[in-house]
Structure 1
Amino acid sequence: SVISQPGLSVGYMPQRISLHPTLPLTVLRFLSLSKVGTEAAIRAALELLKIEHLREQQIATVSGGELQRILLARALLGNPKLLILDEPAQGVDLAGQAELYQLIGQIRDQNGCGVLMISHDLHLVMSATDEVVCLNHHVCCHGKPEQVSNDPAFLELFGASVSDGLAVYTHHHNHEHDISGHIKLPKQ
């Protein structure tokens, strides 16, 4: 079953977009095509992602890392409570990936939004997430990274040698998070 909040705002970042290289489209114009892209929201997203300098640049000429930041900026325009990121580091070099993942963490913390990230990077998944859902045509297993890395379905899919080589993130505290990432208060 799926649990959601009524009126939940969702921001989606695809792993890539296909634009004709001769399409005359600036970054600012691309962002303003969003139905929720007010000038103030666009300006704030560009500043947050440190890409204000790209405002007037043709989107077809930006680097892979810059394009991913632009797509993330577009996903943030409606101030979503849930960010869905499909392979957000697609086409980004290693240094850029670390910076991008750090930014995503800051966005989650500052905006108080939940982040659902689709990734094939097992090291990232196991070292930087609170909850893991492992899919292979169906849900193989799910839970905290340390649980999933020892789950028989995970071990069968990836092998014990892969599991042993992962840096597993252990979330040490005595509380749980709700769907938005906020701490659930104990019932009294």
Structure 2
Amino acid sequence: MSQTLIQLQGVGVRIAGQAVLQDVQLSVQPGQIVTLIGPNGAGKTTLVRAVLGLLKVDTGSVWRKPKLRVGYMPQKLHVDPTLPLSVLRFLRLVPSVDRTRALSALAEVGAAQVIDSPLQGISGGELQRVLLARALLREPELLVLDEPVQGVDVSGQAELYRLITRLRDRHGCGVLMVSHDLHLVMSTTDQVVCLNRHVCCSGHPEQVSGDPAFVELFGQDAKALAVYHHRHDHEHDLHGQVLPDAPAAGLRIHGAVQPHVHGDDCKHA
């Protein structure tokens, strides 16, 4: 347990008399990306709330590393349109954050240019990066990301997932991520946990995608998921536009067919 960040054993939760989670086992290690997948109503958000200590479990145990620093990125953020809140003021709601720290965090996620923009006026991709910067300002040992690419187009989603991987590599933090984007997230995670109130299957992405429980849960089309390498000779900005003189980046995507309009050199594995 010395290296473990969180450990759930036999966790069960009942809400209004109904079993929402049953006998869930889960752990996250430093430098590991663990992704929760599952249909709506599978208990993913409930499990995240249990991990964060916002919800008391009815059975089992939730262990956290003592004094564990957690950075949380919510699925949605609603800000009243009449509230005069800039990105900088939003980030400074985190204790001990000044403009220099806020700008550094935004630069790390590729959103430094929005620091003085109204929070309500930035794009979906920019907002997700701001929320990620806010999570990083807590200097987390564990990042908990609930649908981190919500409201972002496909090219922006791929870049955000690559960014999350780079942040993991740079900071050595563990990542617990909730996602519905199977074809993208399967290539950017170390372990997949397929949840449907209980853990249906778990393991490396290639193992899970071929598991009968996974196929039963997501349908026969899930059998078509396959791994191939998609090698970019460019990167995209927040809006999906090609960045000039950007270094090459590699992306592994699971999917039978991925449309491509940028003229990249695709090599299939």
Query: What TM-score does the superposition give when structure 2 sets the normalisation length?
Result: 0.59
Correspondence for 2:92: 32
Check whether the contact 2:141–2:173 (CA below 8 A) recurs between aligned residues: yes
Correspondence for 2:71: 11
Correspondence for 1:60: 120
1:108 aligns with 2:168: yes
Correspondence for 2:222: 162
What pairs with 1:63-142 in structure 2 (closer than 5 Å)? 63-142=123-202
* Structure 1 residue 39 displacement after superposition: 4.2
Which segment is superposed worse, 76-85 or 138-147?
138-147
1:59, 1:39 → 2: CA distance?
A: 16
Instruction: Looking at secondary structure, tell me which structure has more strand per residue.
Output: 2
Inter-CA distance 15–166: structure 2 relative to 1 (3 Å threshold) = farther
2:159, 2:204 → 1: CA distance?
A: 24
2:150, 2:141 → 1: CA distance?
A: 23
1:121, 1:95 → 2: CA distance?
A: 13
* Structure 1 residue 143 displacement after superposition: 1.0
Inter-CA distance 152–3: structure 2 relative to 1 (3 Å threshold) = farther
The aligned amino acid for 1:119 is S
The aligned amino acid for 2:142 is L
* Structure 1 residue 14 displacement after superposition: 0.7
* Structure 1 residue 36 displacement after superposition: 5.2
Instruction: Looking at secondary structure, tell me which structure has more helix per residue.
Output: 1
Q: What root-mean-square deviation, in Å, do the aligned CA atoms of Structure 1 and Structure 2 show?
A: 1.8
Inter-CA distance 138–9: structure 2 relative to 1 (3 Å threshold) = same
Correspondence for 1:186: none
1:50 aligns with 2:110: yes
1:166, 1:97 → 2: CA distance?
A: 19
1:123 is paired with a residue whose SS is helix
The aligned amino acid for 2:121 is T
Check whether the contact 1:37–1:78 (CA below 8 A) recurs between aligned residues: no
2:175 is paired with a residue whose SS is strand
1:141 is paired with a residue whose SS is strand
Query: What TM-score does the superposition give when structure 1 sets the normalisation length?
Result: 0.83
1:39, 1:57 → 2: CA distance?
A: 13
* Structure 1 residue 50 displacement after superposition: 2.1
Inter-CA distance 164–57: structure 2 relative to 1 (3 Å threshold) = same
2:101, 2:165 → 1: CA distance?
A: 19
Gaps of 5+ in 2: 1-8, 10-61, 229-251, 253-269
* Structure 1 residue 74 displacement after superposition: 0.5
In the alignment, which of 80, 85, 91 is matched to residue 20 of structure 1? 80
